[in-house]
Amino acid sequence: MRKTIVRCLLAASIGVVVSGAGALAQGDGPMAAPAGYYTFQKVVYQNDGGLPDANAYFERLLRNVGNHIQAVGGKVEIRVVDFGEGVKPFVTARTDAALAAKIDALKAKGVRFLICHNTLEGMKLKPSDLYGVAAEDVVPSGVAELARLQGQGFVYIHP
């Protein structure tokens, strides 16, 4: 396992792709997975912001989620649990049409963004203060939601 991780890191640093068999192969663009390579996945991404720029971090997270969906051919159920600084981009998206469009595009692909009630209380925000957030998107606790979803078989990713 450790050798595989080291090889992947080395491959990424020199711009090659690690194939499923472990051999290194040159890659100029996205590597297409062979048919049947990925099975259905359930994944929860943590978004607690990335200081000092939560919006830049959030945009990278959105790209990661989009790339994930593309890589598995849509065979994935994704939740993004947003708490702490991770909630601020949803405030920004109320006046940033480009950011709002990125959120909408992922929602259209079935991604659910779940917002921490504790964070809203702490920041004195209501769901209506956030772009695209309805009451049913609010969970009691972001951290507890991560654990709940993992208990339901979701794989945890913190980019």
Do 146 and 156 contact (CB within 8 A), yes or no? Answer: yes
pLDDT value for 158: 93
Buried-state track 73-84, b at ≥16 Cβ within 10 A, e below 16: eeebebbbbbbb
pLDDT value for 27: 55
Considering Cα of 68, then 69, then 75, then 77, what sign does the dihedral take?
positive
Do 83 and 143 contact (CB within 8 A), yes or no? Answer: yes
Closest residue by Cα to residue 131 from 102, 92, 80: 92
d(CA 158, CA 131): 22
Structural domain boundaries of the chain? 1-31, 32-157
CATH of domain 32-157: 3.40.1260.10
pLDDT value for 33: 79
pLDDT value for 29: 59
pLDDT tens for the chain, residues 1 to 159 = 444 433 443 333 334 333 444 433 445 556 677 888 999 999 999 999 987 887 889 999 999 999 999 999 989 999 999 999 999 999 999 999 999 999 999 999 999 999 999 999 999 999 999 999 999 999 999 999 999 999 999 999 998
pLDDT value for 23: 38
Do 69 and 97 contact (CB within 8 A), yes or no? Answer: no
